[in-house]
Amino acid sequence: MTVRVKICGITSPEQALMVQQSGADALGLVIYEKSPRYVDIDQAATISAAVSDSVLAIALLVNPSEDIVNQVIARVKPDYIQFHGDETPEFCQQFNYPFIRAVRMRDGLDIDAEVAAYNAEGGFLFDAWSDDLYGGTGHSFDWSRLPTTTDYKLILAGGLTPDNVADAIAKTEPYMVDVSGGVEDSPGIKDPIKVKAFVAQAKKNK
């Protein structure tokens, strides 16, 4: 089965169209003010409107208030919310809205316990750990820490580039790969050549 590709940190409708034309299966909108790829709810709604029905729009939130989540659901209407902070299972599940749970790979993490706690229909996104950053670190982690078999959608993130994504897929067999900085000229500005190369490398082994 072909691996799906998510391009995260889209900051304009023009970028959204470009990544879709490049063959991406999903795009991410970062509604988190501390991110260099931040878009507000109005911008996210405008970008989401440019996403075709065949491509997933995913809204990334970090430790949001209930009100922000409800605004995102009502106005952006994403296919999934991606909870990328320290949100509890109870917080994520109270909205009765499909979500992806980001798992930041800190030392000593019990992956099985983390997965068991969340009813994440969209899957679990595994990302590098940072003491002070919630994603977008540009760093990878030891892929051998990931389970070899899963009963959920495994999404691989963290330091992926056109140069290493094929190797990452061969080693982890994910449902989806997620890239942001690895296909950029600068934070929030995607490079069409890098995006096309990333998608091609990710999908070359069907």
124 within 8 A of 153, measured Cβ to Cβ: yes
The number of angstroms, rounded, from the C-alpha of 191 to the middle of its chain's C-alpha atoms is 18
Q: Is 8 a catalytic residue?
A: yes
The number of angstroms, rounded, from the C-alpha of 122 to the middle of its chain's C-alpha atoms is 10
What was the pLDDT predicted at 110? 83
What was the pLDDT predicted at 138? 55
Instruction: Give dist(CA 199, CA 45) in Å, integer.
Output: 25
What was the pLDDT predicted at 130? 55
Tokens of 8: 């995260």
Catalytic residue among 53, 127, 167, 178, which?
A: 127
What was the pLDDT predicted at 91? 98
Q: Is 127 a catalytic residue?
A: yes
Catalytic residue among 8, 25, 92, 178, which?
A: 8
Cα-only R_g, the chain? 16
What was the pLDDT predicted at 164? 93
Q: Of 98, 192, 105, 195, which is closest to residue 157 (Cα–Cα)?
A: 105
What was the pLDDT predicted at 132? 55
What is the value of pTM for the model shown? 0.91
What does pLDDT average to in each consecutive run of 10 residues of the chain (206 residues)? 93 97 97 94 98 97 97 98 95 97 81 90 83 54 77 91 93 93 93 97 82
Torsion sign over Cα 9, 10, 15, 20:
positive
- Residue labelled with tokens 């023009």: 14
Q: How far is CA 78 from CA 26, 132, 163, in A?
A: 11, 27, 30
Domains of the chain: 4-203 (3.20.20.70)
Phi-psi region of 23 (alpha: psi -120 to 50; beta: other; left: phi over 0): left
What was the pLDDT predicted at 158? 87
